[in-house]
Amino acid sequence: MSGASARSLGKGSAPPGQVPEGLIRVYSMRFCPFAKRTLLVLKAKGIGHEVININLKNKPEWFFKKNPFGLVPVLENSQGQVIYESAITCEYLDEAYPGKKLLPHDPYEKACQKMVFELFSKVPPLLLSFLRRQNKEDCSGLKEELHKEFSKLEEVLTKQKTTFFGGSSLSMIDYLIWPWFEWLVALELNEYVNHTPNLKLWMAAMMKDPAVSSLFIDPKAFRGFLDLYLQNNLEACDYGL
């Protein structure tokens, strides 16, 4: 979609104009896993959208008027309504747009997806800490913790005897947790799911999904970005462009 591979907007940039009728805008960053959630849902539901990338190391002043937290992703529609917090944006898109529903209609099944989401919540900060420390300090403690968290997810799949976290077909919860596992693939760290065979199978099944494969992160660009990002380099977000 337009803007997905465009240079990011930083400090001093002019605020973008109104969102054109018939489209929804997502403020994003090419390598942000939280924004990836929203992009996956937009793609999976075939929602017409435009992307504006934000330089997260050098944020434009006007961006804080969109989201007081200054984070991506942020959705903005042609009525000027703004939605932020990645999980909230995904749920909003599922409710507001027609077509395939990603969240189940049944209240209990929906609650189960949200409980799995809570179970996953320690993975993002852990994985980031792990990537920050790799090659520098001893990160065996972090490795242990990651294994523990992955085992919790493995237990869900084992108990349910399903391929995906929401059942036999891919649904919202799978898209919500995928971006961090995409990192594992891009960084060739698949060994971290060696002791969780169902999780490994889930990853393989996810790679076959059209939305996942069309938005798959470029491993070289990601590694380049990560190096610069961890050094707080202002150019990190536009690596490879």
> Considering only CA atoms, which of 44, 52, 57 is closest in space to residue 100?
44
Binding site for other proteins (CB under 8 A): 81, 83-85, 88-89, 91-92, 95-96, 107-108, 110-111, 114-115, 118
The minimum distance between CB 130 and other proteins, in angstroms, equals 23
229 close to 57: Cβ distance less than 8 angstroms: yes
The minimum distance between CB 202 and other proteins, in angstroms, equals 21
Q: Copy the structure tokens of residue 7.
A: 């240079």
The residues annotated with a catalytic role in the active site are: 32
The minimum distance between CB 114 and other proteins, in angstroms, equals 5
The minimum distance between CB 68 and other proteins, in angstroms, equals 8
Interatomic CA distance for residues 76 and 74, integer angstroms:
7
Instruction: Report the 10 Å Cβ neighbour count for 107.
Output: 8
Helix (H) / strand (E) element for 35: namely: helix 33-44
CA 10 to mean position of chain CA atoms: 21
Interatomic CA distance for residues 184 and 147, integer angstroms:
13
What residues contact residue 191 under an 8 Å CB cut-off, 6+ apart?
A: none
70: left (phi over 0), alpha (psi -120 to 50) or beta: left
The minimum distance between CB 239 and other proteins, in angstroms, equals 30
Helix (H) / strand (E) element for 24: namely: strand 24-28
